[in-house]
Amino acid sequence: MQLEQILQYVFSGLSTGAIYALIGIGFSIIFNATGIINFAQGEFVMLGGMLTLFFLELLKLPLWAAIPCAVAVSALAGLLFERLAIRPLRQPTPINLVIITIAGSILIRGLAMLLWGKDTHAIPPFSGDEPISIAGATILPQHIWILGITLLVIAVNKFFFYHTISGKAMRACSYNRRAAGLVGIDVRRMVLFSFVISSVLGSLAGIIVAPLTMTAYDVGVMLGLKGFCAAIIGGMSSGIATVVGGLILGVLESLGAGLISSGYKDAIAFIILLLILFIRPQGLFGKAESERV
């Protein structure tokens, strides 16, 4: 096994890992604000890719205009999802929430299939596809875009949560919803916010990965699940731990696909998920919490 080859797997693993991290942060933002695992998170990833394609091809917008439009529509979809499906739920037990978010994901997927059909589509890479060679391995410009945008989003995220009033209010909700409500924070609005932010993050992930992997109405399922794995490895934190979780997952998956078997690529992620859930449900970096009754 050549060193260059391993380096190659690591590079491509890092860029898919960055995508998982973005999706995973979306999961943990909603989880921290509401205690909900949003099974529809992957559908927002799909919406990002498909909407960008829609604005590019049907409305003939240039890429720089199509992307914000796609993100905006996804954000609106996230908002509607919270208002129409999550908030009206009369018995928000964990099982009901799991079922309602699964129902939402099926519905969104079905609508996308009706609107855009079952074909897979390609989005052109943001800046050509001339490979760049680094230390014997090659990477595509899109890989750099992915890593760059992910880093930027994480920086913005950090700034939002620690240096703006809304961000601080959302963090307060995640520590203790009741106390946050008592000091005058509109908890319901923060919940709505968390859905909007995570649908924005999801759709961004979908947009930047689409030029590499193609997009279709049903790509959200797998990507969403991988994002969840990243969030679990990171212990459901919306910060650097999830990013590291995503990168670890991406690299392991890429090495596994290259060195063991590409058919079992997706299984690797789920075996890691199961192992983490069994051994350290609080995540690789989290502190063990005693069970509260």
Partner 1 sequence: MKRELLKFVFFAALIFAAPLAFKDSYLMNVLVFVGINTMLAVALNLLLGYAGQISLGHAGFFGIGAYLSAILTATYGWNAWLAMPLAALAVGMLAGLIGFPILKLKGHYLAMATLGLGIIIYIVFNETIDLTGGPSGFSGIPNLTFGSLVFDNDIKNYYLVWTFALAVVLFSVNLAGSRVGRSLRAVHDSEVAARAMGVNARLLKVQVFALSAVISSLAGSLYAHTMTFISPASFGFNFSVELLTMVVIGGLGSVYGSFLGAALLTLLPELLRGAQDYDIIIYGGLLMIMVMFMPGGLARGIPDLFRRMTRIREGAGNA
Binding site for partner 1 (CB under 8 A): 36-37, 39, 85, 88-91, 94-100, 102-111, 113-114, 221, 225, 228, 232, 261, 263-264, 266-267, 270-271, 273-274, 277-278, 281, 293
Smaller CB separation from partner 1, 62 or 263: 263
| Secondary structure in 3-state letters for 69-135 | HHHHHHHHHHHHHHHHHHCCCCCCCHHHHHHHHHHHHHHHHHHHHHHHCCCCECCCCECECCCEEEC
Smaller CB separation from partner 1, 5 or 261: 261
* Nearest distance in Å: CB 114, partner 1: 7
* Nearest distance in Å: CB 107, partner 1: 3
Smaller CB separation from partner 1, 91 or 290: 91
* Nearest distance in Å: CB 267, partner 1: 4
> Pick from 274, 285, 208, 212: which is nearest to 243 by CA?
285
* Nearest distance in Å: CB 33, partner 1: 14
- The amino acid sitting at 192 is L
- Dist CA 240 CA 158 (whole Å): 9
* Nearest distance in Å: CB 167, partner 1: 24
Smaller CB separation from partner 1, 159 or 270: 270
Residues 6 or more apart whose CB falls under 8 angstroms from that of 30 comprise 36, 37, 38, 41, 194, 195, 198
Residues 6 or more apart whose CB falls under 8 angstroms from that of 289 comprise 282
Q: Both tokens of residue 77?
A: 């979809």
* Nearest distance in Å: CB 291, partner 1: 10
Contact 108, 40 (CB under 8 A): yes
- The amino acid sitting at 142 is Q
- Dist CA 161 CA 164 (whole Å): 6
Smaller CB separation from partner 1, 2 or 91: 91
Smaller CB separation from partner 1, 37 or 207: 37
